[in-house]
Amino acid sequence: MEVLAPAGSKDSLKAALLGGADAVYLSGKLFGARRFAPNFSDSEIKVAIMAAHDQGAKVYVTVNTLVKESELPVAFAYLDVLSSMEADAVIVQDRGLMRIIKENFPLAIHASTQMGVHSVEDAKWAKEAGVERAILARELSVPEIERIARDGGIGTEVFIHGALCYCFSGQCLFSSMLGGRSGNRGMCAQPCRKRYSLGGETSFMLSTADLFCVDSIPELMRIGVGSIKIEGRLRSPTYVYLAAKAYKAAVERAARGEEELMTSRERELLEVAFNRGFSSGYLRGNEVMQRRYAESRGRPIGTARSRGKEVWLPTTSLGEGDGITFYRGHEKIGGFEVRSPVPKDGGTIVRSPFRLEMGEYQAYKTKDREFPEIERAISKLHLPTARADHKGRRFSVPGVQRHHRKAALSAHVSSVRSLRAVLPFVDRVYYEMNADEEEARALCEEVGKEFVLSLPRIAPAVPEVDAAAVMVHSPGQAMKYADRRTYGSYFMNMFNSFTMPSMHQQQVSVELSRQDLMDLAAHDDRALEVPVFGRVELMITRDPTLKEGSLKDERGKKFPVVRDANGWAHILNSADLFLMDFMNEMDRWGIDSYALDLRGRPPELSGMVAEAFRKRDLGMKDRIKRKCGAITAGHYLRGVQ
């Protein structure tokens, strides 16, 4: 089993190699999902590959953001450079970029966790599309992973340690919609680490604990997982070294059949290096939350008592050179390095260089006495020098002729009452799977309107359905129902004209701006649908503890939370998307269809919206706004970085 470590900088690369990692993953300056990490220039990537190969380790380069149509030539040139460097693989989210790689470069492809591979069908689709390894969704349990490893026909990689996103990876639009910083483009502002209120409780409602899954290694080895991945391209080289070393040792112990996979000292060092609280993630259950605080506080020590400059700590393990930090509630008071600790009353007395107000504090160990020596060892490891070759191959996408056409109008609804209200005004209905779907189908057939059954948003086991047309949310679902009319939802992140797979019709990503959409339409002759009304889904999460209701942020904005029949919670935007103002110009680009999302909305509002959009009656805009509370043009005018 491969141990894969992060390298967000040259020092982290050295730390991973020094820690014994079998492989590292890193990013260049372009198209990486951690744009705030130092990352690597083209020449530095070549150096990293040379250094890793000299030590028998592999290098996987992340090209794992969604790519706009206008960026395809730059992405092609970057891939051309990578193809000359003998990178062991590229990690990709964008399914259009994946197609370009397969058709042009001898590069192995790993499907990013952002691609959302979470079913046997998704894995089979990825394999057929040219993917060598799938980095599986972090929401999967061991039995679900076992099915994919056994039946998917593809190499598998599983996150074993580090940060856990609250939202299903590749589906988070919270940062994007609130501030224009897209997680799908490497710019996440981490809204999940903010404080929220819901149901009378205020806490870091969406903040997960960090993964610590060492105990799952024997099971993952047994079911055939090929690689375990440590998260952390934004973390310190010391963290990278300690995590790589500890998990490499754990894998070797598991291979020998030892019961203790990690010593208490190894765990302590990991807790000190970075720690928001540890969790076994979804591998072994659903207890993934840590809502008391959102930042790393290191290893909890317990309640300290101050008598001015003398502080008693409830531990006997502190030594010279360890670092401690004190908190009162959410307030960080300060910290210092331990000097001349004195055992007393079952704990340790230390002297503070500054006066602490008398009383009790929560204390955390935030530095270990071994860290300076680790840092010195990392700094002594020298990297070679090299220069990247730029071939200058050109790439262009041929244009297409899309003519003004009479566009269809679709509505996504979840109740028969709302369906009856919209049927006079729409051409197509996307209906949520529920007990009333047969009645809904019959109603549509009576009046000659197309009925499309919407599959579950996330489905580790894709259901069998009897429907001539289905709305799908993953490429695996599209593959399973390739013999039907398939309609792709905007959750499939269509960003460019190369995006696979091709379907009867595809909704474009809601992160595309006016210019992005115009560029796409100028190069793609497939049937395209644009969402023009509704509450965009900001997050979908497997967290079973989030209550339904209204999630309120610190600015007072309210985000509806609803839970579906499969147990997933959906967090919706505080305002409704409203693009009626721009439909005439989209007509000129040849857009085929416009979609209204009216799920969960009352029949009166559903009918009003459907009629207004059918008639393109902008005079209804203010009335709809009053009914909804707020409307927004989303990214149509501002786009994403």
Q: What is the pLDDT of residue 26?
A: 97
| Three-state secondary structure readout of 440-497 | HHHHHHHCCCEEEEECCCCCCCCCCCCCCEEEECCHHHHHHCCCCEEEECHHHCCCCC
Give CA angle at 120 (114, 122), nearest 5°.
Answer: 40
Is it the case that residue 200 has pLDDT exceeding 80? yes
Q: Confidence band (pLDDT; 50, 70, 90) for 438?
A: very high
What's the rounded Cα separation, in Å, for the pair 595 and 534? 9
Q: What is the pLDDT of residue 609?
A: 98
Phi-psi region at 271: left, alpha or beta (left = phi > 0; alpha = psi -120 to 50): alpha
- DSSP, residue by residue, 350-408: EEEEEEEEEEEEEEEEEE-TTHHHHHHHHHHPPP------------------------E
CB neighbour list of residue 600: distance below 8 Å, 6 or more residues apart:
414, 560, 562
Report the candidate in 563, 559, 520, 511 with the shortest Cα–Cα distance to residue 542: 563
Report the candidate in 263, 260, 166, 154 with the shortest Cα–Cα distance to residue 217: 260
Residues facing residue 27 across a β-bridge: 62
Query: What's the whole-number mean pLDDT along residues 421-434?
Result: 97
Q: What is the pLDDT of residue 325?
A: 97
Residue 311, token pair as written in the block: 């502080």
Query: What's the whole-number mean pLDDT along residues 133-150?
Result: 97
Give CA angle at 270 (28, 327), nearest 5°.
Answer: 105
Q: Confidence band (pLDDT; 50, 70, 90) for 406?
A: confident
Bond before 106 cis per omega within 30 degrees: no
pLDDT in tens, 278-297: 999 999 999 999 999 999 99
Q: What is the pLDDT of residue 274?
A: 97
Query: What's the whole-number mean pLDDT along residues 186-210?
Result: 95
Q: What is the pLDDT of residue 223?
A: 98
Q: What is the pLDDT of residue 20?
A: 98
Q: What is the pLDDT of residue 34?
A: 81
CB 174 within 8 A of CB 167: yes
Tell me whether strands 278-279 and 23-27 are parallel, antiparallel or unpaired: unpaired
Query: What's the whole-number mean pLDDT along residues 579-596?
Result: 97
pLDDT in tens, 488-502: 999 999 999 999 999
Q: What is the pLDDT of residue 65?
A: 95
Give CA angle at 319 (315, 321), nearest 5°.
Answer: 130
Handedness of CA 610, 173, 110, 88 (dihedral sign): positive
pLDDT in tens, 530-585: 999 999 999 999 999 999 999 999 999 999 999 999 999 999 999 999 999 999 99
Residues facing residue 279 across a β-bridge: 211
Which helix H or strand E contains 422, and what residues bound it?
helix 416-422
pLDDT in tens, 80-107: 999 999 999 999 999 999 999 999 999 9
Is it the case that residue 391 has pLDDT exceeding 80? no
CB neighbour list of residue 180: distance below 8 Å, 6 or more residues apart:
635, 638, 639, 640, 641
Residues facing residue 40 across a β-bridge: 28
Instruction: Give the HSE-up count for residue 279: Cα atoms under 13 Å, Cβ half-sphere.
Output: 26
Is it the case that residue 392 has pLDDT exceeding 80? no
What is the reported pTM? 0.96
Query: What's the whole-number mean pLDDT along residues 445-463?
Result: 96
Give percent of the chain above pLDDT 90.
93
Report the candidate in 462, 457, 455 with the shortest Cα–Cα distance to residue 430: 455
Q: Confidence band (pLDDT; 50, 70, 90) for 307?
A: confident
Report the candidate in 3, 25, 14 with the shortest Cα–Cα distance to residue 241: 14
Q: What is the pLDDT of residue 605?
A: 98
pLDDT in tens, 18-50: 999 999 999 999 888 787 788 999 999 999 999
What's the rounded Cα separation, in Å, for the pair 122 and 454? 17
CB 93 within 8 A of CB 184: yes
Q: What is the pLDDT of residue 342?
A: 95
Q: What is the pLDDT of residue 404?
A: 84
CB 12 within 8 A of CB 240: yes
What's the rounded Cα separation, in Å, for the pair 388 and 238? 28
Cα 4 off chain centre by:
18
Of residues 197 and 405, the one with the higher pLDDT is 197
Q: What is the pLDDT of residue 389?
A: 82
Instruction: Give the HSE-up count for residue 163: Cα atoms under 13 Å, Cβ half-sphere.
Output: 21
Report the candidate in 385, 510, 499, 620 with the shortest Cα–Cα distance to residue 129: 499
CB neighbour list of residue 250: distance below 8 Å, 6 or more residues apart:
214, 217, 261, 262
CB 68 within 8 A of CB 519: yes
Number of other residues whose CB lies within 10 A of the CB of residue 77: 16
Q: Confidence band (pLDDT; 50, 70, 90) for 451?
A: very high
Tell me whether strands 227-230 and 155-162 are parallel, antiparallel or unpaired: parallel
- Residue type for position 632: T
Report the candidate in 254, 246, 259 with the shortest Cα–Cα distance to residue 217: 254
Q: What is the pLDDT of residue 32?
A: 84
Query: What's the whole-number mean pLDDT along residues 504-532?
Result: 97
Residue 252 phi/psi, 5-degree rounding, is -65, -40
Q: Is 42 strand, coil or helix?
A: helix
Is it the case that residue 480 has pLDDT exceeding 90? yes
Q: Is 548 strand, coil or helix?
A: coil
Tell me whether strands 227-230 and 331-337 are parallel, antiparallel or unpaired: unpaired
Is it the case that residue 115 has pLDDT exceeding 80? yes
Of residues 246 and 638, the one with the higher pLDDT is 246
Residue 203, token pair as written in the block: 């806490």
DSSP H helical ranges for 160-293: 174-179, 217-223, 237-255, 264-273
Is it the case that residue 222 has pLDDT exceeding 80? yes
CB neighbour list of residue 579: distance below 8 Å, 6 or more residues apart:
530, 531, 532, 533, 586, 594, 633, 634, 636
Residues facing residue 274 across a β-bridge: none
- The CB-based long-range contact list for 553-557 (8 Å cut-off, 24+ gap) reads 553/191, 553/194, 553/195, 553/196, 554/194, 554/195, 554/196
DSSP 207: P
